[in-house]
Amino acid sequence: MKTVDNYNFKGKKALIRVDFNVPLDKEYNITDDTRIRAAIPTINKVIADGGAVVLMSHLGRPRDVPEEKYSLKHIVNHLSKSLGRPVAFAEDCIGEKAKSLSKALKPGEVLLLENLRFYKQETAGTESFAKELAALGDVYVNDAFGTAHRAHASTAVIAQFFPGDKVFGYVMANELASINKVLTKADRPFTAILGGAKVSGKILIIDKLMDKIDNLIIGGGMAYTFIKAQGGKVGSSLVEDDKLDVALKVLSDAKAKGVNIYIPVDTVAASAFANDADKTTVDIKNIPDGYMGLDIGPSTEAQFAKVIADSKTILWNGPMGVFEMSNFEHGTKAASDAIVEATKKGAYSLIGGGDSVAAINKYNLANEVSYVSTGGGALLEYIESGSLPGVEAVEK
């Protein structure tokens, strides 16, 4: 894998695809700058070599035309503070202005381009648009893991215009190293913890992981489909009735492949999908009518914690319950704590996928696990398909 460490940027203009798709509040304050902070080391490497930097990113989901609320100008000040140097802004990501600003850049200077998705050609992966972007730099750096599963103009198509001059940034390199460690060099036992809302969203990843893992822990909303498939009474819990056969197949595949599968035995059931609903802890196979399981129960927590504690590699995707509500977050917090404990004992833990990352951040435990992935969709797709368009384009 060729990274920025294998390239000397002296006198070059690096066109870096970053992921600055950060959340903004109504006053355009950045409410979580993780993605900006993550990009700083790559930018600094180019500058330290004596190069200049042109940054390109998307922000939000504009409808293919400029929209004030999605302008990247809102992040210029924050980025400039994080870098400790001025950042120039091009109000258009292509065209004469962008070209002249890029041309005038001196070593050590940084230019941020306007939102790529103000052009529909970005997501369409239009070659002519990618070529216009490519004219703004001498070398292409892809550091946007979060969009690497998309074959967009700036994430994949553009790479062909830099035949000998395309490398990965540190975010990409770290993400790929972390995931490859888990998928190809896992110490055993290897435990996958899958939760979240639905079986349908996780079935491909379960299939892929089945050949690699020793233990599969199933929690969250998807557990109730497994319980119902086995003849349990799940009340009004979230269930995908058209996936009962899929759940049974997962169970039989696990058995055939020697994977230990752990499904909740008790649940915290609520009279409504609300934090202040009446709640009761019950056998998960016997949830009363009118009640829905919103978290795993204490016996399940203890069982899961034991499996996690004995693991040497842990991959966690998806919360154990509706952790956004304080009365139903206990199971997710308990799983996070167990992962932290296992990590302290030497396990390698990778947390990936939007909501488990949100959970680990909620409990301030991101620094206590081995790696927190910055790209949920990209991580899952990499596990499912073994590659990503944005990775292939640079490696070609």
Return residues touching ligand AMP (CB under 6 A).
196-198, 201, 220-221, 238, 293-294, 318-319, 321-322, 324, 353-355
Q: Is 36 left (phi over 0), alpha (psi -120 to 50) or beta?
A: alpha
Report in angstroms the alpha-carbon separations of 12 from 309, 326, 329.
49, 51, 50
Residue 331 CB, nearest approach to ligand AMP (Å):
9
The nearer residue to ligand AMP, 300 or 343, going by C-beta atoms, is 300
Catalytic, out of 85, 99, 198, 233? 198
The answer to whether residue 60 is catalytic is no
State how far the Cα of 37 lies from the Cα of 73, in Å rounded to an integer: 17
Residue 224 CB, nearest approach to ligand AMP (Å):
7
The nearer residue to ligand AMP, 353 or 389, going by C-beta atoms, is 353
The answer to whether residue 377 is catalytic is yes
Provide CB contacts within 8 A for 186, sequence distance 6+.
212, 312, 313, 348
DSSP sequence for 19-59: -----B-TT--BS--HHHHHHHHHHHHHHHHT-EEEEE---
The nearer residue to ligand AMP, 197 or 251, going by C-beta atoms, is 197
Residue 382 CB, nearest approach to ligand AMP (Å):
17
Residue 228 and residue 255 in contact, taking contact as beta carbons nearer than 8 Å: no
3-state secondary structure of 226: helix
The answer to whether residue 375 is catalytic is no
State which amino acid sits at residue 359. A
Residue 201 CB, nearest approach to ligand AMP (Å):
5
Residue nearest to ligand AMP (CB): 196
The answer to whether residue 232 is catalytic is no
Report in angstroms the alpha-carbon separations of 206 from 70, 193, 209, 218.
35, 10, 5, 10
The nearer residue to ligand AMP, 273 or 344, going by C-beta atoms, is 273
State how far the Cα of 378 lies from the Cα of 355, in Å rounded to an integer: 14
Catalytic, out of 12, 13, 17, 35? 35
Catalytic, out of 97, 201, 354, 362? 354
Residue 169 CB, nearest approach to ligand AMP (Å):
27
The nearer residue to ligand AMP, 124 or 244, going by C-beta atoms, is 244
Q: Residue for token digits 């998307």?
A: 58
Residue 129 CB, nearest approach to ligand AMP (Å):
32
Q: Rg for the chain (alpha carbons), in Å?
A: 23
Provide CB contacts within 8 A for 185, sequence distance 6+.
none
- Kindly give the residue spans of alpha helices, DSSP state H, lying in the chain: 34-49, 76-83, 96-104, 120-124, 127-134, 170-184, 203-209, 223-229, 244-257, 298-309, 330-344, 354-362, 376-385, 389-395
The nearer residue to ligand AMP, 278 or 395, going by C-beta atoms, is 278
The nearer residue to ligand AMP, 319 or 389, going by C-beta atoms, is 319
3-state secondary structure of 111: strand
Residue of 352, 383, 349 lying closest to 368 (CA atoms): 349
Residue 375 CB, nearest approach to ligand AMP (Å):
14
Enter the DSSP assignment of 267: E
Could you give the residue numbers annotated as active site?
35, 198, 354, 377
